[in-house]
C-alpha cells in the first residue's frame, strides 16, 4: 500500500525490528553520531553530520535526508558518495525501475536518475514502480500509471499496493482483493488485510485470522491457529510467532522449524539468524545450527555479511563467523548494492 514514513511510524518500525528481528526496510535515522556508508571491506564511502536519514541503495541511488539551516530536505547519493540529485524535496521515495516519486514546492511527480521530473499529473501521492506500473492517488481513488505516465488502471480503488508476481492488492467495498496488470479483479475483495505475493503465497487476514492464499485466492495455509504474527516466504520458509516464540513454516504450512526462539530474522541468503537460551545462531532451512555466536547479537545476512553487536558496537561477520569489519559503529544496517549505512561517534 502507499504509505508515508512518519517520525512515529519509523520509530515504531525500528523498535519492532530490534525487539523481534523484523526485516523492516526503513531509513536509518541519525541518533547522536554521524551517518555514513561503508563498502564490504569497511571502507567509508561518505560520512556527514548533516545526513539525518540514510536509506538503502536502490537502482544506483540512496535516498537521504539532510538537515541544514534548520531545514529537512530529501535528495539522492550515488555509489561514489556524491549528492547526485540535490536535496530539494519535501518528501521522496526510493528509486524503483529508474524513477522515484518526489514532492516539493514546485510540484509532485516522478523524477529520473538525473533529477528531471518526467511524470506529473493530478496525483496527490505515488508509490514505487513495480512491473512497469505505479500506484497513484487520484481525487476519487487509487489507480495505476505506466512508465510514460499514461493511466492504465483508473482510480477506482480505496487503496492500492505494489504488483508482485503479476498481482496487486486493492481495496473495494471495505475489503481487500487482488487485480492483475490489466486491472481485472481476479481475487474478490473479502480480506481485512492483504499483502504482496512472495513465492506464490500471499499473507491475508480473513475473519480476523492469519492465512496464506495462492494466486487463485484459495486459502492454502490456515487459518493459522495461535499464530500472532506471520511474514512473507523467503527461501521457501515463512517466519511466524506463536505466543512469544518464533519459528518457520514451509509453503504447505508445516512447522519445519518449531516456534522455540526468543527472536528471529527472515531467511536471507539461505540462512536465518535466531536467538535461543544459548544466544544467537545462524540456522539452515532444516533448523540445524550452522554458526553459533553466543551473546553477540547476530542480524540478517546480506551481500555475504551480517551485522553483529559486540561490546555495544556493530561490526560485520562472514558466513563462517569471521569478523570482516571490526565493531566500531554505533549502529549498522544491511548491505544493498554493495553498501551499508552506519552511524559513527
What is the model's pLDDT at position 345? 84
Per DSSP, the residues of 226-243 read TEEEEEEEETTEEEEEET
pLDDT in tens, 13-32: 333 333 333 334 456 666 67
pLDDT above 50: residue 10 = no
Say how far apart CA 88 and CA 65 lie, in whole Å.
10
Distance CA 83, CA 104 (A): 18
Longest alpha-carbon distance in the chain: 56
DSSP code at position 90: S
Tell me how far apart the alpha carbons of residues 144 and 280 are, in angstroms, rounded to a whole number.
Answer: 43
Average pLDDT over residues 168-182: 97
Q: Distance from CA of residue 191 to its chain's centroid?
A: 22
More confident residue, 128 or 29: 128
Query: How many Å separate Cα 331 from the centre of its chain?
Result: 18
pLDDT at 26: 58
Residue that has been written with the C-alpha cell 538537515 in this structure: 67
Look up the pTM and report it: 0.88
Q: How many CB atoms lie within 10 A of CB 152?
A: 15
CB neighbours of residue 325 within 10 Å: 23
- Residues 153-181 have a mean pLDDT of 97
More confident residue, 47 or 262: 262
136: cell is 497513484
Burial environment of residue 330 by CB neighbours within 10 A (0 to 12, 13 to 18, 19 or more)? middle
pLDDT of residue 5: 54
Cβ-based neighbours of 322, under 8 Å, separated by 6 or more: none
* pLDDT tens per residue across span 296-333: 999 999 999 999 999 999 999 999 999 999 999 999 99
Find residue 191's DSSP bridge partners: 176
Count of residues making up the chain: 345
pLDDT category at 222 given cuts 50, 70, 90 is very high
Residue whose C-alpha cell is 525487539: 19
- Write down the pLDDT at residue 282: 97
Beta bridge partners of 104: 107
Amino acid at each position: 500500500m502507499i504509505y508515508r514514513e512518519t517520525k512515529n511510524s519509523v520509530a515504531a518500525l525500528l523498535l519492532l525490528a530490534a525487539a523481534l528481528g523484523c526485516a523492516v526496510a526503513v531509513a536509518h535515522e541519525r541518533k547522536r553520531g554521524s551517518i555514513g556508508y561503508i563498502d564490504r571491506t569497511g571502507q567509508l564511502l561518505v560520512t556527514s553530520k548533516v545526513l539525518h536519514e540514510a536509506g538503502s541503495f536502490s537502482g544506483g541511488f540512496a535516498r537521504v535526508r539532510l538537515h541544514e539551516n534548520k531545514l529537512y530536505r530529501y535528495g539522492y547519493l550515488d555509489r561514489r558518495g556524491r549528492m547526485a540529485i540535490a536535496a530539494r524535496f519535501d518528501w521522496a521515495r526510493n528509486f524503483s525501475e529508474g524513477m522515484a516519486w518526489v514532492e516539493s514546492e514546485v510540484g509532485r511527480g516522478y523524477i529520473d536518475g538525473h533529477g528531471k521530473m518526467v511524470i506529473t499529473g493530478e496525483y496527490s501521492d505515488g508509490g514505487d514502480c513495480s512491473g512497469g506500473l505505479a500506484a497513484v492517488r487520484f481525487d476519487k481513488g487509487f489507480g495505476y500509471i505506466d512508465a510514460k505516465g499514461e493511466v492504465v488502471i483508473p482510480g477506482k480503488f480505496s487503496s492500492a499496493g505494489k504488483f508482485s508476481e503479476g498481482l496487486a492488492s486493492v481495496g473495494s467495498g471495505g475489503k481487500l482483493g487482488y487485480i492483475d496488470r490489466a486491472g481485472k479483479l481476479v481475487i474478490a475483495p473479502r480480506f481485512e488485510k492483504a499483502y504482496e505475493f512472495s513465492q506464490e503465497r500471499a499473507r491475508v487476514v480473513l475473519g480476523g485470522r492469519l492465512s496464506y492464499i495462492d494466486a487463485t485466492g484459495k486459502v492454502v495455509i490456515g487459518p493459522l491457529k495461535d499464530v500472532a504474527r506471520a511474514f512473507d516466504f523467503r527461501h521457501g520458509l515463512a517466519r511466524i510467532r506463536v505466543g512469544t516464540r518464533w519459528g518457520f513454516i514451509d509453503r504447505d504450512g508445516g512447522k519445519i522449524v518449531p516456534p522455540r526462539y526468543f527472536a528471529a530474522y527472515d531467511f536471507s541468503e539461505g540462512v536465518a539468524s535466531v536467538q535461543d537460551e544459548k544466544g544467537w545462531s545462524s540456522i539452515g532451512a532444516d533448523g540445524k545450527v550452522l554458526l553459533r555466536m553466543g551473546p553477540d547479537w547476530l542480524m540478517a545476512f546480506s551481500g555475504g555479511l551480517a551485522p553483529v553487536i559486540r561490546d555495544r558496537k556493530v561490526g560485520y561477520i562472514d558466513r563462517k563467523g569471521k569478523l570482516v569489519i571490526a565493531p566500531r559503529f554505533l549502529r549498522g544496517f544491511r548491505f544493498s548494492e554493495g553498501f551499508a549505512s552506519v552511524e559513527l561517534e
